[in-house]
């Protein structure tokens, strides 16, 4: 080794970098070319560990060089060599053993190494500008270099990274993964992309994707000298993916739970997007009598009553919460089901949808109707004694006068027209007619209140409505107060005459019962009506009675709440009244002061122009045509009475029953038929069906009359297609109905 260590030896004069290392890695020789190439003067390196391989890299390099020397291989191996200026570059070194030391000589191109130092520095500056972590390793796995992003990402300073392997800077479990991937790359030469983890100094592990490829030396025909790699931190991306996956799984679980929930509840549930149904639960489909395929994808308006669909349309496409709304659903068979719906907007799968939840009101409505009917019958029972009194008075003088007339006629048989008894009989008949008219009005008012007519809103005359109610309640009012009228000329209201009649009979009777009997001159029950600026008619019933205590005022419309003694009131009257008024789009409110009286106010919408026009009765015509009329009734006295009433306007024949009437029609011509509904044998409706088959033209001019209308019979009469008149009626009503029929 003396010749190698001698500065004047041939070794020192070699044009390529050459140096010798002891078995411990200390420099024992360092020629002039090595000084130029690596920047260290001979005096600074001799006797010291080789500065080209800092730290742990020295042992790795020695091991690799010994293997080459022992194999007596002529090929040089690439190793990362540090420059005194701080840069690291790959140098291909050939190795041989001499007297226990390693003699290392740089391969061709070694002279250019020093000249490439500037280029290496420029390359380092470029790499440092790249934000992604980039690194280089030699074939032994030692880091040759890296950019600033790599240093920052690992949080390890440059001097602790250069020349070290992954086992020096990473936990063993991760280092083994990295080394196995490096070995596979060096063997196969196939670029790698794989995902693993990196541990930061604080113990945090990050998800990263490695991109690795071989690093070639172009000067030596592309021989591999190490590998280069880049890292992409995907921790946040993977966390987002995991969150999204968890959210999707939760959404799927939620969707399953949601479907189970809505499919098990008895309420009606519909999900729609701007009115287009995307889901309907089994309860909703059962009401509509539709399969899922038929309802899903259809428009919500397809299954609503047209009037309700028009009213609800703005809520189908808007975002505003829908208030409770009663809607009529149209089932497949054409039947209507009333349900109360609420709707809210929610986000489902990133799409805004509306969820409508409804409750079938059929049972509740039927229960309310039964309670209303029970209350109506209870009210009639309350009025029964007074009505009986009101009927008994006129009935007494009707019977007396009719008896007087009958006796007088027998006495005056054959007497001249100017005999004294004729005037007496005429006056008696007039009185009898007046009494009969009073009884007819009472019966009509009772029938109007008692019938369970439909709740369809039609035009109702307010004055007539109040007059009928006052007539029925007069027996309760008369001993307690004076009835004062303050009813302006108001338009008809929308409602049902029977239902609203029940409301005002209740209010008037309640007003009367709030006043003690005995001093009617000291108290007043006032009936008033006026048209408000909002187009609604305000109808008030006020009294000067005891008033309602404040603690009871808030409960006055609750069902079964009453302040009357046990057995006197049901507690349903005002509750039913409130429901009836609300059903027709109105309101019922109350104000009261103890000791001064109470006022109930009903606000009802006025009937529209078309409805009002339908309410106006046509005036009878003045013509005197004598048309042929057939009266059909199985009660001869009724038939004879009708024949006498119409004899001045018609040529009238009477038939006893349907069979007799059909025979007469077959033998003669008639312009119209008046037929009783309730007859033995074929009834009036069956007669009408037979007439439609045999004489369809005459069947269009049939007037039906009936003495009593049950709900079922009322439905049949409403759908039979023929006009009808309720008994009792007088000659004027009958003639007017016939003239309308023949017009």
Checking if the pLDDT of 219 tops 50, the result is no
What pLDDT score was predicted for residue 220? 39
Which among 632, 524, 521, 514 has a CA at the least distance from the CA of 574? 514
Question: Residue 702's pLDDT band (boundaries 50, 70, 90)?
Answer: very high
**Sheet holding 597-605: strands in order across?**
482-487, 524-531, 536-543, 597-605, 587-593
What pLDDT score was predicted for residue 427? 65
Which of 313-327, 366-380, 436-450, 481-495 is most confident?
481-495
Share of the chain above pLDDT 70, in %: 75
What pLDDT score was predicted for residue 613? 43
Are 297 and 315 spatial neighbours (Cβ–Cβ below 8 Å)? no
- Two tokens at 506? 């209740």
Question: Residue 199's pLDDT band (boundaries 50, 70, 90)?
Answer: very high
Mean pLDDT of 488-505: 86
Which uninterrupted H or E stretch holds 229? strand 223-233
- Two tokens at 587? 């309101």
Checking if the pLDDT of 607 tops 90, the result is no
- Two tokens at 202? 């604080």
The residue among 641 and 374 whose pLDDT is bigger is: 641
Q: Which of 161-170, 380-389, 618-627, 663-672 has the lowest mean pLDDT?
A: 618-627
Q: Which of 18-32, 142-156, 308-322 has the lowest mean pLDDT?
A: 308-322
CATH numbers and ranges of domains, the chain: 2-231 (3.30.450.20), 265-360 (3.30.450.20), 365-614 (3.30.565.10), 620-742 (3.40.50.2300)
Are 63 and 77 spatial neighbours (Cβ–Cβ below 8 Å)? no
pLDDT, tens digit, 9 for 90 and up, residues 166-185: 999 999 999 999 999 999 99
Query: What are the DSSP E strand ranges found in 317-389?
Result: 322-330, 336-348, 351-360
Q: Please list, in sequence order, all residues whose beta carbon lies within 8 angstroms of the beta carbon of residue 523, skipping any fewer than 6 positions away.
A: 480, 481, 482, 515, 543, 544, 545
The residue among 180 and 709 whose pLDDT is bigger is: 180
Q: Which residue in the block uniquely carries the two structure tokens 């189908």?
A: 316
What angle do the packed helices 636-646 and 731-742 form, to 10 degrees? 70
Mean pLDDT of 93-119: 64
d(CA 268, CA 332): 16
Checking if the pLDDT of 379 tops 90, the result is no
Mean pLDDT of 225-249: 84
Going by the DSSP 8-state scheme, the letter that residue 148 receives in this structure is H
Checking if the pLDDT of 116 tops 70, the result is no
Q: What share of the chain is helix, strand, coil (3-state, %, to 5)?
A: 45, 25, 30
Mean pLDDT of 698-710: 82
Checking if the pLDDT of 404 tops 50, the result is yes
Distance of CA 238 to the CA centre of its chain: 37
Mean pLDDT of 482-493: 91
At 224 the three-state DSSP class reads strand
Going by the DSSP 8-state scheme, the letter that residue 173 receives in this structure is H
- Two tokens at 338? 């009333």
d(CA 710, CA 677): 12
Question: Helices in 412-455 by DSSP H: which ranges?
Answer: 420-450
d(CA 34, CA 21): 13
Mean pLDDT of 13-22: 80
Q: Which of 186-200, 254-268, 313-327, 375-389 has the lowest mean pLDDT?
A: 375-389
Phi-psi label, residue 305: left if phi above 0, alpha if psi -120 to 50, beta otherwise: beta
Share of the chain above pLDDT 90, in %: 19
Which among 529, 480, 484, 488 has a CA at the least distance from the CA of 509? 480
Instruction: Tell me the pLDDT of the chain averaged across its residues.
Output: 79
């Amino acid at each position: 080794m003396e010749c190698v260590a001698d500065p004047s030896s041939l070794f020192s004069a070699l044009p390529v970098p050459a140096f010798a290392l002891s078995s411990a890695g200390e420099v024992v020789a360092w020629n002039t070319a090595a000084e130029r190439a690596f920047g260290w003067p001979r005096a600074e390196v001799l006797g010291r560990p080789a500065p080209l391989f800092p730290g742990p890299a020295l042992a790795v390099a020695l091991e690799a060089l010994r293997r080459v020397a022992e194999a007596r291989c002529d090929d040089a191996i690439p190793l990362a060599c540090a420059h005194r200026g701080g840069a690291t570059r790959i140098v291909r070194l050939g190795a041989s053993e001499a007297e226990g030391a390693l003699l290392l000589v740089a391969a061709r191109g070694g002279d250019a190494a020093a000249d490439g130092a500037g280029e290496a520095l420029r390359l380092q500056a470029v790499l440092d500008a790249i934000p992604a972590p980039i690194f280089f390793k030699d074939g032994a796995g030692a880091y040759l270099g890296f950019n600033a992003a790599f240093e920052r990402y690992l949080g390890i300073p440059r001097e602790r990274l250069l020349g070290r392997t992954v086992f020096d800077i990473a936990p063993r479990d991760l280092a083994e993964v990295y080394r196995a991937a490096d070995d596979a790359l060096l063997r196969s030469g196939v670029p790698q992309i794989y995902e693993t983890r990196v541990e930061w100094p604080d113990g945090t592990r990050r998800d990263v994707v490695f991109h690795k490829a071989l690093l070639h030396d172009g000067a030596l025909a592309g021989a591999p000298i190490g590998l280069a790699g880049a890292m992409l931190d995907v921790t946040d991306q993977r966390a987002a993916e995991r969150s999204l996956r968890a959210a999707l799984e939760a959404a799927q679980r939620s969707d399953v739970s949601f479907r189970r929930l809505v499919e098990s509840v008895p309420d009606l549930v519909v999900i729609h997007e701007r009115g287009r149904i995307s889901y309907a639960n089994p309860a909703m489909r059962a009401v509509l009598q539709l399969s899922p395929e038929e309802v899903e994808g259809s428009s919500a308006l397809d299954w609503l009553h047209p009037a309700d669909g028009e009213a609800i349309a703005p809520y189908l496409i808007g975002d505003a919460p829908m208030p409770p709304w009663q809607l009529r659903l149209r089932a497949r068979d054409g039947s209507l089901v009333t349900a109360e719906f609420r709707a809210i907007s929610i986000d489902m799968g990133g799409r805004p949808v509306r969820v409508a939840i409804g409750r079938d009101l059929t049972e509740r409505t039927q229960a309310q109707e039964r309670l209303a009917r029970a209350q109506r019958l209870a009210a009639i029972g309350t009025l029964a004694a007074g009505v009986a009194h009101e009927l008994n008075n006129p009935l007494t003088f009707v019977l007396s006068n009719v008896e007087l007339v009958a006796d007088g006629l027998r006495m005056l048989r054959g007497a001249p027209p100017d005999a004294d008894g004729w005037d007496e009989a005429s006056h008696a008949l007039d009185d009898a007619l007046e009494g009969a008219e009073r009884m007819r009005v009472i019966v009509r008012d009772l029938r109007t209140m008692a019938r369970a007519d439909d709740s369809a809103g039609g035009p109702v005359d307010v004055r007539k409505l109040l007059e009928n109610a006052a007539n029925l309640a007069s027996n309760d009012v008369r001993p307690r107060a004076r009835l004062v009228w303050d009813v302006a000329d108001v338009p008809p209201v929308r409602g049902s005459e029977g239902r609203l009649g029940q409301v005002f009979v209740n209010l008037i009777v309640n007003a009367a019962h709030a006043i003690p009997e005995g001093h009617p001159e000291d108290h007043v029950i006032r009936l008033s009506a006026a048209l408000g600026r909002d187009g609604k008619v305000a109808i008030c019933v006020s009294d000067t009675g005891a008033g309602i205590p404040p603690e009871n005022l808030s409960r006055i419309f609750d069902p079964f709440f009453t302040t009357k003694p046990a057995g006197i009131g049901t507690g349903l009257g005002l509750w039913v009244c409130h429901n009836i008024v609300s059903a027709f789009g109105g309101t019922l409110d109350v104000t009261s002061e103890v000791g001064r009286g109470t006022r109930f106010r009903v606000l009802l919408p006025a009937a529209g122009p078309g409805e009002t026009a339908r309410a106006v009765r046509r005036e009878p015509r003045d013509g005197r045509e004598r048309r042929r009329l057939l009266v059909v009734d199985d009660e001869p006295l009724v038939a004879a009475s009708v024949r006498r009433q119409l004899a001045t306007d018609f040529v009238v024949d009477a038939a006893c029953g349907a069979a007799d009437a059909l025979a007469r029609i077959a033998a003669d011509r008639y312009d119209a038929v008046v037929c009783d509904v309730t007859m033995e044998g074929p009834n009036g409706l069956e007669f009408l069906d037979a007439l439609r088959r045999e004489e369809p033209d005459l069947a269009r001019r049939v007037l039906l009359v009936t003495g009593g209308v049950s709900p079922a019979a009322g439905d049949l009469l409403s759908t039979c297609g023929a006009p009808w008149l309720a008994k009792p009626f007088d000659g004027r009503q009958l003639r007017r109905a016939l003239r309308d029929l023949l017009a």
